[in-house]
């Protein structure tokens, strides 16, 4: 834990905090299991998230089998169907996307990209992972509990979530779900505080905020948002747990359930919805902002061009983050809240489309007169733009209160949010894994398998969710076990549903190829060497690859420029790393 | 290269699917044609943006793909372009929002001549209550619900005595008569949704919600529950008939009032209801 030597460079501000080596592991357990190294914790987070993500994938197959071929599979009862959709949704949103972006990519990339040796609180960081793992195990336990997991839908709306007409409502399912969420939030808070303090306090000399790669900006802003949003879910979960176990009535009015008067009274189901969506809407951007940041960097590196409008991109991230806290009730236009709220929330919701659109323009303009290498990360980034533009535009339907009325609670909504916060962020996750796998393992992922994976995933996912909008336009409500052939349909949707199911099975199978590639390439992948993508950012500049404990050897890196000096005129190569004090960028980038 | 072609095919395929596929919204049977119009405007604006952005993307991928000796330009910012794009987007968004809010204003403003029709939901069936000759619905409470009082109507409320009760049956509406659907649930969330009427709203136990519309086309329509309400959610359906005003009156005459209903059930005395209220109301 001795202080390390300081660099003295008059061009850069002096270090504010002494450079200290993070604690070394002393034995097998603290090295391989209870590791305090952010990179190791990142892998643990990512592996756990991906493992539980595959459970969610199998659940989605089950629900699609029911929708595509109703009545063919006896084991998919209505109860089972609702349990599948509920657990699929909750796992994907919270336990996969949030955990993988923040716990996985956040842990791995933040210290490396800002030039720190580790997260600032390594022990708390380790605890964060183990509590997350406990949350996942409690979640998994609900599959084996009597009555099975909750089938209340991932939104867990009361009163039905804790009543007997819903699977798991009066059994262990809902209790385990709420306990698992509470654990998740505790674990996340420990990690989240780490990410925020590390970005604010542990940046190396010369790494100003406006020189941070957009990846860090995205993860940082999302973490701040999560720290503000998750408490709403925490209190909602605790209150509902009290309603369920102790007989309080926070969310429960006087009820008559199947002819029997229950001993609840005076509570408000809508209050839960407000709390849930005060968390739930920022949650969309907690998933989206890291994806925005990462995809900006993928595009820039693989197009050999600076990200267009860096400062605008930073302010768009921050602006979207702030605005996302005043749009939550657009999920509740037809919830029975006062209808005049519709005016306010429709306006704020459509305003948020402006900074979001700016980001899309800047991604596309980054490709203008670029030198585009169609690597796997670039292909996934392009897939992200297509699915995100599509899903973002259908958001303009649902955000505009009166247009939402006929579409709300139909399959159109399901199609929209899967495109915009399912497929699009997952495209970024996959692209990011192809991009940083060489850094974490020292080997490249197999190209052939990667191309099969990309094409099936991209085209397949579009084939699933684009037609699904039209199932909703026809009028099919979401969360229907079976629609049948009601008179309002302009055409039966059976064939379309079967097609979507086949596409979903295919896309799922392609993920198995990806999983195999992840394992296979560990041994058989081509050696990556230093900085295989010729990127400018610090994570590729560690003395040893993959980076070792403490990241930087004896001396911390010094930063002289922003992260986007690609194809700089006059430079010998088409990239200039951030630690290069050499020729400065032209005017506009000079200030950065 | 292939990716540029695929991007173009995605645009072409999406547009063709939109124009040629048979899956479209059901013909409207209410006054909310404005909602359909707003939807169509949204399709046009978003469709044009989608086509332009993805085609531009495809062009960039094709034109600026890596070739030997090719180098990217260095172009960090372009204030004029960024301001121009922001302004255009703002205009596009306003073009969507303004008509949307205009129609929403109508949607939330119930006309004075609307008659009230109460929808009463429980797992997993629909019932209805219509005002009697006084034109008013009596008060009600979940605590009062019992075998002799299925909708929990207040027996002391004189406005409730002549209320017409349709317990578990179908609803009839008169063509051209604006209706305010007053929505009430006694157990969990439900949502009264008839695709042809375009409108929908959640029903929340402990409170009364509403929406209004005017049926404009005679016919039989299917009611669906649009808010997840437990195991049988997907089977919570019913029928609503829009008929001529004359047929509506005929149907209305055949229905039982709350007073009729209570008269045939000796346990339905106000005193019995009182004790139920005491028993079921929580401190």
Cβ neighbour number for residue A513 with a 10 Å cutoff: 18
Specify the range with the lowest mean pLDDT, choosing from A85-94, A203-212, B175-184, B265-274.
B265-274
Q: Tell me if the bond preceding A417 is cis, omega within 30° of 0.
A: no
Q: How far apart are alpha carbons A261 and A300 in whole angstroms?
A: 62
Instruction: Output the pLDDT for position B280.
Output: 66
CB contact under 8 A, B206 and A82: no
Position A21 confidence tier, pLDDT thresholds 50, 70, 90: confident
Instruction: Output the pLDDT for position A19.
Output: 80
Residues B84 and B168 both lie in one domain = no
User: Which segment, A18-22, A531-535, B261-265, is predicted with the most confidence on average?
Assistant: A531-535
* C-alpha distances out from residue B112 to B108, B178, B186, Å: 13, 9, 28
Q: How far apart are alpha carbons A430 and A437 in whole angstroms?
A: 10
Instruction: Output the pLDDT for position A466.
Output: 97
Q: Within a domain: residue B72?
A: no
Residues B243 and B139 both lie in one domain = yes
- Residue A488's closest chain B neighbor by CA? B26
* B84 in contact with A, Cβ within 8 Å: no
- Mean of the per-residue pLDDT values of chain A: 93
CB contact under 8 A, B207 and A367: no
CA B139 to chain A, closest CA, distance in angstroms equals: 15
Residues B93 and B138 both lie in one domain = no
Facing residue for B93 by CB, picked from A309, A353, A397: A353
Residues B142 and B272 both lie in one domain = yes
Q: What is the CATH number of the domain that holds B210?
A: 2.60.40.420
* B174 in contact with A, Cβ within 8 Å: no
Instruction: Output the pLDDT for position A1.
Output: 38
Facing residue for A401 by CB, picked from B104, B230, B282: B104
Instruction: Tell me how many degrees the CA angle B82-B83-B84 measures, rounded to the nearest 5.
Output: 90
Instruction: Output the pLDDT for position A303.
Output: 96
Residues B98 and B126 both lie in one domain = no
Q: Which domain holds residue B227?
A: 115-280
Instruction: Output the pLDDT for position A571.
Output: 86
Q: Would you say A33 and A87 are in contact if contact means Cβ atoms under 8 Å apart?
A: no
Is residue A482 over pLDDT 80? yes
B6 interaction partners in chain A (CB closer than 8 Å): 459
CA B126 to chain A, closest CA, distance in angstroms equals: 13
Residues B206 and B241 both lie in one domain = yes
Instruction: Please write the tens of the pLDDT for every residue from A381-419.
Output: 999 999 999 999 999 999 999 999 999 999 999 999 999
CA A256 to chain B, closest CA, distance in angstroms equals: 5
Instruction: Please write the tens of the pLDDT for every residue from A317-376.
Output: 999 999 999 999 999 999 999 999 999 999 999 999 999 999 999 999 999 999 999 999
Q: Which of residues 44-73 of B touch A (CB under 8 A)?
A: 45-46, 49-50, 53-54, 56-57, 60-61, 64-66, 70-73
Instruction: Please write the tens of the pLDDT for every residue from B178-201.
Output: 999 999 999 999 999 999 999 999
- The sign of the torsion formed by the CA atoms of A278, A280, A281, A284 equals positive
Residues B97 and B125 both lie in one domain = no
Q: Within a domain: residue B191?
A: yes
* B228 in contact with A, Cβ within 8 Å: yes
Facing residue for B50 by CB, picked from A264, A389, A402: A389
Instruction: Output the pLDDT for position A3.
Output: 47
Position B269 confidence tier, pLDDT thresholds 50, 70, 90: low
Which residue in this structure is represented by tokens 């008509």?
B99
Q: Within a domain: residue B122?
A: yes
Q: Would you say B202 and B137 are in contact if contact means Cβ atoms under 8 Å apart?
A: no
Facing residue for A379 by CB, picked from B3, B42, B97: B3
Position B283 confidence tier, pLDDT thresholds 50, 70, 90: very low
Q: What is the mean pLDDT of residues A481-509?
A: 94
Q: What is the mean pLDDT of residues B64-82?
A: 89
CB contact under 8 A, A473 and B209: no
Q: pTM to 2 decimals?
A: 0.94
Q: Within a domain: residue B169?
A: yes
Residues B255 and B190 both lie in one domain = yes
Is residue B117 over pLDDT 60? yes
Residues B143 and B217 both lie in one domain = yes
Residues B130 and B57 both lie in one domain = no
Total number of domains in chain B: 2
Q: Within a domain: residue B193?
A: yes
Interface contacts A/B by beta carbons within 8 Å: 344
- Residue B15's closest chain A neighbor by CA? A466
Residues B147 and B175 both lie in one domain = yes
Half-sphere exposure of A212 (CA within 13 A, CB side): 28
- Mean of the per-residue pLDDT values of chain B: 91
Facing residue for A406 by CB, picked from B35, B77, B282: B35
Q: Within a domain: residue B263?
A: yes
Is residue A150 over pLDDT 70? yes
> What HEC string does chain B produce?
CHHHHHHHHHHHHHHHHHHHCCCCCCCCCECCHHHHHHHHHHHHHHHHHHHHHHHHHHHHHHHCECCCCCCCCCCCCCHHHHHHHHHHHHHHHHHHHHHHHHHHHHHHCCCCCCEEEEEEEECCEEEEEECCCCCCCCCECHHHCECCECCCECCCCHHHHCCEEECCCCEEEECCCCEEEEEEECCCCEEEECHHHCCEEEECCCCCEEEEECECCCEEEEEEECCCCCCCHHHCEEEEEEECHHHHHHHHHHCEEHHHHHHCCHHHCHHHHHHHHHHHCCC
Q: What is the mean pLDDT of residues A204-219?
A: 94
CA-wise closest residue to A22 among A129, A125, A106? A125
Q: How far apart are alpha carbons A468 and B59 in whole angstroms?
A: 28
Q: Within a domain: residue B71?
A: no
CB contact under 8 A, B231 and A253: no
A393 interaction partners in chain B (CB closer than 8 Å): 46, 49-50
Specify the range with the lowest mean pLDDT, choosing from A130-134, A375-379, A518-522, B151-155.
B151-155
Position B272 confidence tier, pLDDT thresholds 50, 70, 90: low
Facing residue for B53 by CB, picked from A258, A350, A364: A364
Q: Which of residues 16-45 of B touch A (CB under 8 A)?
A: 17, 21-26, 32, 34-35, 38-39, 42, 45
Q: Would you say B213 and B179 are in contact if contact means Cβ atoms under 8 Å apart?
A: yes
CB contact under 8 A, B188 and A473: no
Is residue A245 over pLDDT 90? yes
Residues B120 and B104 both lie in one domain = no
Q: Within a domain: residue B248?
A: yes
């Amino acid at each position: 834990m001795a202080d390390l030597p300081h660099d003295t460079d008059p061009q850069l501000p002096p270090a504010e905090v002494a450079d200290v080596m993070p604690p070394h592991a002393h034995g097998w357990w603290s090295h391989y299991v209870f590791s305090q190294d952010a990179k190791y914790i990142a892998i643990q987070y990512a592996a756990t998230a991906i493992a539980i993500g595959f459970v969610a994938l199998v659940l989605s197959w089950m629900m699609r089998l029911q929708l595509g071929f109703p009545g063919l599979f006896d084991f998919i009862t209505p109860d089972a169907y609702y349990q599948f959709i509920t657990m699929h949704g909750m796992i994907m949103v919270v336990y996969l996307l949030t955990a993988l972006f923040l716990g996985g990519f956040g842990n791995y990339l933040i210290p490396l990209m800002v030039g720190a040796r580790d997260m600032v609180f390594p022990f708390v960081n380790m605890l964060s992972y183990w509590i997350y793992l406990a949350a996942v195990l409690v979640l998994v336990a609900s599959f084996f509990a009597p009555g099975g997991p909750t089938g209340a839908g991932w939104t867990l709306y009361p009163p039905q979530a804790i009543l007997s007409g819903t699977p798991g409502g009066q059994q262990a399912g809902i209790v385990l779900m709420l306990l698992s969420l509470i654990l998740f939030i505790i674990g996340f808070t420990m990690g989240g505080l780490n990410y925020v303090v590390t970005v604010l306090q542990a940046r190396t000399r010369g790494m100003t905020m406006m020189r941070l790669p957009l990846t860090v900006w995205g993860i940082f802003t999302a973490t701040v948002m999560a720290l503000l949003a998750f408490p709403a879910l925490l209190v909602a979960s605790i209150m509902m747990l009290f309603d369920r176990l102790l007989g309080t009535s926070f969310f429960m009015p006087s009820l008559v359930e199947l002819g029997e008067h229950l001993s609840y009274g005076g509570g408000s189901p809508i209050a839960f919805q407000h709390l849930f969506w005060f968390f739930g809407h920022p949650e969309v951007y907690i998933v989206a902002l890291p994806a925005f940041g990462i995809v900006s960097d993928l595009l820039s590196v693989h197009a050999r061009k600076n990200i267009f409008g860096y400062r605008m991109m930073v302010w768009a991230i921050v602006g979207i983050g702030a605005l996302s806290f005043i749009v939550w009730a657009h999920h509740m236009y037809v919830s029975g809240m006062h209808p005049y709220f519709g005016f306010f929330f429709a306006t704020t919701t459509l305003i948020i489309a402006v900074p979001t659109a700016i980001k899309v323009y800047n991604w596309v303009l980054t490709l203008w007169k670029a030198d585009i290498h169609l690597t796997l990360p670039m292909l996934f980034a392009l897939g992200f733009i297509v699915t995100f533009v599509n899903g973002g535009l259908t958001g303009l339907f649902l955000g505009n209160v009166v247009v939402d009325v006929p579409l709300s609670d139909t399959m159109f909504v399901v199609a929209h949010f899967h495109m915009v916060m399912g497929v699009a962020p997952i495209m970024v996750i996959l692209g990011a894994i192809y991009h940083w796998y060489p850094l974490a393992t020292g080997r490249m992922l197999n190209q052939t398998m990667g191309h099969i994976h990309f094409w099936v995933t991209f085209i397949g996912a579009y084939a699933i969710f684009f037609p699904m909008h039209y199932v909703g336009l026809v009028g099919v409500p979401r969360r229907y076990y079976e629609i049948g052939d009601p008179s309002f349909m302009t055409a039966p949707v059976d064939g379309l549903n079967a097609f979507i199911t086949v596409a979903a099975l295919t896309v799922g199978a392609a993920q198995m190829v990806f999983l195999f590639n992840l394992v296979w390439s560990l041994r058989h992948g081509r050696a990556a060497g230093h900085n295989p993508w010729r990127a400018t950012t610090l994570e590729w500049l560690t003395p040893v690859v993959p980076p070792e404990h403490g990241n930087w050897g004896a001396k911390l890196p010094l930063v002289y420029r922003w992260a986007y000096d690609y194809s700089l005129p006059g430079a010998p190569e088409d990239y200039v790393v951030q630690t290069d004090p050499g020729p400065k960028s032209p005017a506009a980038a000079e200030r950065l | 290269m292939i990716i540029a072609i695929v991007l173009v095919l995605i645009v072409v395929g999406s547009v063709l699917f939109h124009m040629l596929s048979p899956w479209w919204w059901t013909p409207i049977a209410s006054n909310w044609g404005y909602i359909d119009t707003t939807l169509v405007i949204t399709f046009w604006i978003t469709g044009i943006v989608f086509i332009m952005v993805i085609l531009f993307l495809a062009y960039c991928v094709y034109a600026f793909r890596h070739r030997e000796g090719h180098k990217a330009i260095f172009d960090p910012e372009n204030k004029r372009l960024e301001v121009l794009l922001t302004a255009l987007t703002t205009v596009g968004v306003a073009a969507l929002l303004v008509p949307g809010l205009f129609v929403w204003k109508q949607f939330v403003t119930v006309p004075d001549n609307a008659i009230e029709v109460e929808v009463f939901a429980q797992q997993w069936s629909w019932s209805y209550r219509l005002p009697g000759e006084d034109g008013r619905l009596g008060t009600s409470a979940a605590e009062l619900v019992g075998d002799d009082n299925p909708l929990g109507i207040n027996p002391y409320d004189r406005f409730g005595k002549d209320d017409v009760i349709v317990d578990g049956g179908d609803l009839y509406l008169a063509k051209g008569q604006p209706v305010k659907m007053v929505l009430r649930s006694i157990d969990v969330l439900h949502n009264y949704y008839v695709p042809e009427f375009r409108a929908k709203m959640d029903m929340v136990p402990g409170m009364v919600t509403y929406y209004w519309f005017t049926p404009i086309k005679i016919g039989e329509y299917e009611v669906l529950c649009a808010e997840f309400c437990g195991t049988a959610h997907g089977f919570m359906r019913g029928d609503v008939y829009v008929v001529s005003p004359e047929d509506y009156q005929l149907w209305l005459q055949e229905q039982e009032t709350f007073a009729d209903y209570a008269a045939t059930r000796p346990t339905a005395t106000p005193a019995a209801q009182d004790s139920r209220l005491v028993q079921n109301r929580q401190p």
